[in-house]
Structure 1
Amino acid sequence: MVGNLDWRPAAERTDLLAGPVAAVIGERPEARVAEIDPELADTAAFCERYGVPLEVSANCVIVAAKRGGEAGYAACMVAATDRADVNGVVRRHLGARKVSFAPMADATSLTSMEYGGITPLGLPAGWPVLVDEAVAAAPQVVIGSGVRRSKLLLPGKSLTDLPGAEVLALAR
């Protein structure tokens, strides 16, 4: 497994997942979950404390896309070592006039997940999930669980068959 964590089948520890994630985790038998200190949920602190290589971690960024007076949301999955090209690739792909990081209050209320733990599993129906090609190709990736007190571990390709998932070259 990855790092010095006690990884368990996620479907057996739904108490460590946000409600929307727990509702869909049964569809992901390959997913593992590990409990962590919620104060160490931010990627750099988490990786340092638990011996997880930064290259194995991926972040879920919620963006707000505006076009024609309407706003929509999307999730972008990028390796922790990279940044999503929000104003280029993401904006063009979504056909938006403007794309910005969603305000924390919007991201948490719309996903029913905790800031710092948002994950692409269990997102609202209809949201695009844009997965960077490096994340999709990763043998294993550590992502949020919807809450700050745990992390999920699963193959990167598992993210490519989520509802609304599309693989793109998102990193810049």
Structure 2
Amino acid sequence: MSGHDLPRLGSLAWEPALDRPDLLAAPVLAALTAWAEQDERVRTQVAVAPIDPDHADTATLNAVHGLPTEASANCVVVAGRRGDDERVAAVVVRATTRADVNTRVRRLLDVRKASFLAHERAVAESGMEHGGITPLGVPAGWRVLADARVAEPGTLALIGSGVRRSKLLLPGDLLAAAPGVEVVEDLATAIDA
């Protein structure tokens, strides 16, 4: 992919994300705008497409728009405590895998027990909609952990936009270069067929 090729996938109408602020949650727009000042690729290689909010779930979206499941990346919010210190992470894994919350994520957060953050809290603290939470624009205190499979060069990552009515698409290696993203080997396990 050259520096000016907007990624495309399936039958969705992709546009440069920064040209469509109406399709982005406020924290996502702020994060993309700041990142674009550091990396010009954000303007030309981060795409957004409107979707029917009823199709926001991965399986439905892929079926309706002819998208490969392996391109979809899900973001889950995980939290744990170490004494009085709560540690929160946005964890990004391919839709063909499952975040290894009980072992890998728990160890990375250095907590005794890790669990999914309640939907209401994740929505309230991220400023994003449930089903649209994305690793771009999460609160500053959260870590962003991305499974290495999401970040492989030559792959695309289909992620949330912060709202249920659109999706973002960008090269996996560009996502890996986003501010604050930590790429982790074996952060996820394959989902048994």
Q: Same fold (TM over 0.5)?
A: yes
Moved more, 160-169 or 34-43: 160-169
**Residue 12 in 1 paired to residue 19 in 2?**
yes
AA matched with 1:13:
R
CA distance in 1, matches of 2:179, 2:142: 8
Aligned residue in 2 for 1:152:
168
Aligned 1:104-115 pairs, distance under 5 A? 104-115=119-130
Aligned residue in 1 for 2:4:
none
Given the two structures, how large is their TM-score scaled by the length of structure 2? 0.86
Aligned residue in 2 for 1:122:
137
Answer whether contact 1:117 1:145 (CA < 8 A) is retained: yes
Residues 11-51 of structure 1 show CA distances to partners (whole Å, capped at 9, x for unaligned) of: 00010000001112232222000000001101111111111
Match of 1:143 among 149, 152, 159: 159
CA distance in 2, matches of 1:82, 1:6: 27
Answer whether contact 1:126 1:164 (CA < 8 A) is retained: no
CA distance in 1, matches of 2:179, 2:117: 20
Residues 85-110 of structure 1 show CA distances to partners (whole Å, capped at 9, x for unaligned) of: 00100001111111000000010001
Post-superposition shift, 1:127?
1.5
Post-superposition shift, 1:161?
2.4
Aligned residue in 2 for 1:65:
80
What runs of 5+ residues in structure 1 fail to find an aligned partner? none
Q: CA RMSD in A?
A: 1.0
Answer whether contact 1:5 1:34 (CA < 8 A) is retained: yes
AA matched with 2:161:
S
AA matched with 2:10:
G
What runs of 5+ residues in structure 2 fail to find an aligned partner? 1-7, 37-41
CA distance in 2, matches of 1:67, 1:48: 41
Residues 60-91 of structure 1 show CA distances to partners (whole Å, capped at 9, x for unaligned) of: 00011211132121010000010000010000
AA matched with 1:80:
A
CA distance in 2, matches of 1:49, 1:133: 27
Aligned residue in 1 for 2:179:
163
AA matched with 1:4:
S
Aligned length: 172
Aligned residue in 1 for 2:29:
22
CA distance in 1, matches of 2:55, 2:96: 18
CA distance in 1, matches of 2:130, 2:66: 22
Runs of 4+ in 1 over 2 A off after TM superposition: 161-164
Larger Rg over CA atoms: 2
Answer whether contact 2:88 2:141 (CA < 8 A) is retained: no
